[in-house]
Structure 1
Amino acid sequence: MTSGTGSAGGTSGTGGTGGTETSGSGDIVRTLELLWDTGRRPSRGPKPGLTLDRIVEAAVHVADTEGLEALSMRRVATELGTGAMSLYRYVPGKAELLDLMLDRVQRPGDPAQLGDGGWRSALEAMARATLALYRRHPWLLRINQSRPLLGPSALDGLEAVLSRIRPMGLTDSELVSAVVMVDGYVVGAARTQVYQEEAERKSGQTTAEFYAAQAPFLEKIMATGRYPVLASLAEDTWSPDFDHFEFGLQRILDGLEVLVERRRGEATARPAR
Structure 2
Amino acid sequence: MDEEKEPRPGEPKTQRRGKQDRSSAGDPVRTLELLWRVSGATPVRGPKQRSSVDAVVAAGIELADAEGIGALTMRAVATKLGLTPMATYTYVPGKAELIDLMVDKVYGEMDRADLADLPWRDRVTTIAAENRAMLARHPWVAYLPTTRPPLGPGMAAKYDHELRAFEGLGLDDVTMDASVTYVLGFVTSVARIAIDTARAASDSAMSDHQWWERAAPLLAQVFDAERFPVGARVGAAAGQTHDSAYSADHAYEFGLARVLDGLAQLIENP
TM-score bracket, shorter-length normalisation: 0.7 to 0.9
**Cα-Cα RMSD:** 2.5
Unaligned runs of 5+ in 2: 1-14
Cα 1:59/1:211, change in 2 over 3 Å: same
2:110–2:134 CA contact under 8 A, matched in 1:
no
TM-score, with structure 2 as normaliser: 0.82
1:262 and 2:269 equivalent?
yes
CA shift, 1:141, in A, is 3.3
CA shift, 1:213, in A, is 2.9
Partner of residue 46 from structure 1, selected from 24, 45, 48: 48
Q: Percent identity?
A: 37
2:30–2:41 CA contact under 8 A, matched in 1:
no
Structure 1 residues 95-134: Cα deviation after superposition (integer angstroms, max 9, x where no partner): 1011100101111545325574222212111112212212
Question: Which one has more relative contact order, counting CA pairs under 8 Å at least 6 apart?
Answer: 1
1:200–1:206 CA contact under 8 A, matched in 2:
yes
Find the counterpart in structure 2 of residue 5 from structure 1.
none
Structure 1 residues 40-95: Cα deviation after superposition (integer angstroms, max 9, x where no partner): 155696244x1111110011111112222221111111111111222222211111
Structure 1 residues 213-260: Cα deviation after superposition (integer angstroms, max 9, x where no partner): 333444556665212223444854232277121110111111111221
Distance 1:218 1:113 in 2: 51
Find the counterpart in structure 2 of residue 8 from structure 1.
none
CA shift, 1:26, in A, is 0.7
Distance 2:235 2:23 in 1: 44
Find the counterpart in structure 2 of residue 90 from structure 1.
91
Find the counterpart in structure 2 of residue 128 from structure 1.
129
1:246 and 2:261 equivalent?
no
CA shift, 1:261, in A, is 1.4
1:237 and 2:244 equivalent?
no
Find the counterpart in structure 2 of residue 157 from structure 1.
158
1:15-30 equivalence runs, <5 A: 19-20=17-18, 21-30=21-30
Name the stretch that deviates more: 137-146 or 39-48: 39-48
Q: AA paired with 1:259?
A: L
TM-score, with structure 1 as normaliser: 0.81
Cα 1:124/1:108, change in 2 over 3 Å: farther
Distance 1:92 1:224 in 2: 58
